């Protein structure tokens, strides 16, 4: 239960940081995360991500989104 709560907090932090960086509403950022499955990926990779600084979940999400949005 604690792990799920921590993964959710990690996801919220990434969503908020993405919204701030790209100057968009948090709801729009969350929508993008859901569209590309970032929420699922952050939870799936929680065991690795939780050992890193909190902003690493944002960088993880941003990297995946750049690949999906720009085909890199």
* Whole-number pLDDT of residue 72: 55
In tens, the pLDDT along 27-42 reads: 999 999 999 999 998 8
Residues 54, 22: contact at Cβ < 8 Å? no
Domain count, the chain: 1
pLDDT < 50: residue spans in the chain: none
Domain that holds residue 64: 2-70
Q: What's the rounded Cα separation, in Å, for the pair 71 and 63?
A: 11
Q: What's the rounded Cα separation, in Å, for the pair 39 and 8?
A: 9
* φ/ψ (deg, to 5) at 36: -100, 10
């Amino acid at each position: 239960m604690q792990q799920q709560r921590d993964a959710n907090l990690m996801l919220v932090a990434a969503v908020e940081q993405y919204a701030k960086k790209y100057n968009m509403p948090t709801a729009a950022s969350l929508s993008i995360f859901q569209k590309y499955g970032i929420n699922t990926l952050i939870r799936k990779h929680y065991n690795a991500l939780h050992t890193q600084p909190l902003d690493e979940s944002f960088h993880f999400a941003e990297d995946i989104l750049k690949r999906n949005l720009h085909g890199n």
